[in-house]
């Protein structure tokens, strides 16, 4: 089992459980994601990581394997009531550690590019994204700046 480094917490704060979901838990993740860009987990393609407090999901991150084998990170979401506590860092760390054998790609919201850089993601030209990932943003017609998203890449490894 891989050890995941978690941020320090206050003595009176409960440390969340952070782990990969089983396929039976995907409906609970889908419920949390319901109002977040229509994200839905599919156990056939996805690995989903969650932080739990008292059995409740407080943060999620998804890594999807596309048919060409490329891996896309998305669905990183923490409901408003739980933001600012480091939970997104925890689930992203779990995802990166678990998926470290693969190159990872993503479209990052521009304002969060620095957050993803903490996990080794670097900005890349859109043309360097694998076609199945690039096709998701075809509606932006190459105007990533106008869509306020940034293509990013993380090379395999820890």
**Per-residue confidence of the chain (158 residues) as pLDDT tens digits?**
334 444 444 444 688 999 999 999 999 999 999 988 888 999 999 999 999 999 999 999 999 999 999 999 999 999 999 999 999 999 999 999 999 999 999 999 999 999 999 999 999 999 999 999 988 777 555 555 556 889 999 999 98
pLDDT score recorded for residue 9:
42
Torsion over CA: 53, 41, 79, 157 (sign): positive
- DSSP secondary-structure letter at 12? T
Tokens found for residue 91: 């689930």
Spatial contact of 19 and 47, defined as CB atoms under 8 Å apart? no
Count of H helices and E strands in the chain?
5, 7
For residue 61, how many other CB atoms are within 10 A of its CB? Answer: 26
How far CA 114 is from CA of 57, 72, 140, in Å, comes to: 24, 18, 22
The domain locations on the chain are: 17-154
Q: What DSSP assignment string belongs to 28-48?
A: HHHHHHTTSTT----TTTEEE
Spatial separation of the C-alpha atoms in residues 130 and 42, rounded to whole Å: 20
pLDDT score recorded for residue 143:
55
CATH for 17-154 is 3.40.630.30
pLDDT score recorded for residue 140:
55
Q: Considering the entire predicted model, what is its pTM?
A: 0.86
Spatial separation of the C-alpha atoms in residues 48 and 75, rounded to whole Å: 9
């Amino acid at each position: 089992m891989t050890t995941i480094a978690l941020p320090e917490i206050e003595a009176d704060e409960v440390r969340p459980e952070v782990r990969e979901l089983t396929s039976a838990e995907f409906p609970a993740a889908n419920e949390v994601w319901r109002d977040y860009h229509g994200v839905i987990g599919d156990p056939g393609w996805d690995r989903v990581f969650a932080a739990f407090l008292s059995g409740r999901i407080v943060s999620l991150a998804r890594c999807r394997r596309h048919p060409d084998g490329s891996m896309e990170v998305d669905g990183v979401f923490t409901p408003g009531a739980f933001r600012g506590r480091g939970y997104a860092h925890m689930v992203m760390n779990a995802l990166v550690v678990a998926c470290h054998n693969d190159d990872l790609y993503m479209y990052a919201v521009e304002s969060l590019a620095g957050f993803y850089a903490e996990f080794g993601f670097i900005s890349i030209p859109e043309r360097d994204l694998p076609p199945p990932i690039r096709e998701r943003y075809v509606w932006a017609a190459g105007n990533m700046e106008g869509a306020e998203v940034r293509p990013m890449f993380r090379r395999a490894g820890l």
